[in-house]
Amino acid sequence: MSETKIKIRLIKSPIGVPLKVRKVIDALGLKRPNQEVIRNASPTILGMVRKTQHMLEVKEI
């Protein structure tokens, strides 16, 4: 069975945000604005996306 994949794009720069939020963004693999990564839609990744949703754009693939 294939898991659902999501494309995550960093819209807003992490400069000036709390350290916890920056660490979550780094853990997702995002380093600079407009960078995109593709991840499996696991509960862990979805929780990270929810915590930083104000800085991300998410699309289901």
14 by Cβ neighbours in 10 Å (0-12 / 13-18 / 19+) ranks as: buried
pTM for this structure? 0.89
Q: Look at residue 2 in the predicted model and tell me its pLDDT.
A: 63
The answer to whether the beta carbons of residues 6 and 45 sit under 8 Å apart is: yes
Q: Look at residue 3 in the predicted model and tell me its pLDDT.
A: 83
What domains lie within the chain, and their CATH numbers?
Answer: 5-60 (3.30.1390.20)
Residue listed under structure tokens 């979550």: 24
Listed residue (43, 36, 42) closest to 59, CA to CA: 36
**Percent of the chain that is helix, strand, coil (3-state, to 5):** 35, 25, 40
pLDDT along the chain (61 residues), means of 10: 87 95 96 96 95 96 90
